[in-house]
Structure 1
Amino acid sequence: MKVAIGSDHGGFRLKEEIKKYLESLQIEYKDFGTYSEESVDYPDFARPVAEGVARGEFDRGILICGTGIGMSIAANKVPGIRAALCHDCFSARATREHNDSNVLCLGERVIGKGLALDIVKIWLETEFVGGRHQRRIDKITSLERGINNG
């Protein structure tokens, strides 16, 4: 698995912890920044992560900001991205199983390191179950393309 990861200043410290965790699992990743706690704009980091995932250069993406909300909004503007904001383990599992999310968004100011790493672990390990859920993903793809498939 290859993961794209990025944060703004509000998610920088948690991003660094997640990178250590990915290294411990020997998961390849690319850090798209930011590289300090100096104030930056989250869309500047959400975009390259999301575009890399959408192009298939990365299997998954992880984005962190203060709340995770801004990153999820920005990432979901990229066609092919299903970014999910998760602050609990159940949602992390469900968004992979049912929504086939390909970008995980977290809020450093909302959850602690321990829970964040549990969420990342579950999200990385959980597979999409397909079946009736695939039909729903196909409808999301049609929405992105402006196709009305009722």
Structure 2
Amino acid sequence: MCIKYVSTKTYGAERGYAVAYRQWRAESHCNLIHGYAMGFHFEFESTELDVRNWVVDFGSLKTLKEKMDDWFDHTCLVAQDDPEFEFFETMHKKNLIKMVVVERTGCEGLATFLADYIQEIWLPENGYAGRVKLRKVEVRETPSNSAMWINE
């Protein structure tokens, strides 16, 4: 039998992060800039606990929270291949928007963006690489709509 321990962290559950973006490839009103009060949920897994009997130190998540605030608090997410990228960049330079460039907009793309950051940068920088695995990232754009990245 393999025992797994899981620690979770949720951001934006109360009021959500004020984020705007568009799905420029959509053939619906989703191709227009629109906003959400987004929430994020993370699950960290390990088969062994650290010397304090924790999967992750919740205090170490402070650095992840700082990144989340920077990326998602009153920002406009722009896909790097958006045909209007230069226009968004001009608005950013004029301080009309706080532009954050992502590979893909939408919950699935943002879940992948966050998973990549956590696995490649956050886990190693915080001494968790090798012992802790990122199990799940959930991105919620409304109470009824979310998408998940799951590491099986």
TM superposition score normalised by structure 2: 0.26
Q: Which has the higher helix share?
A: 1
Who wins on radius of gyration, i.e. which is larger? 2
Question: Comparing both chains, which one has the higher relative contact order based on Cα–Cα distances under 8 Å and sequence gaps of 6 or more?
Answer: 2
TM superposition score normalised by structure 1: 0.26
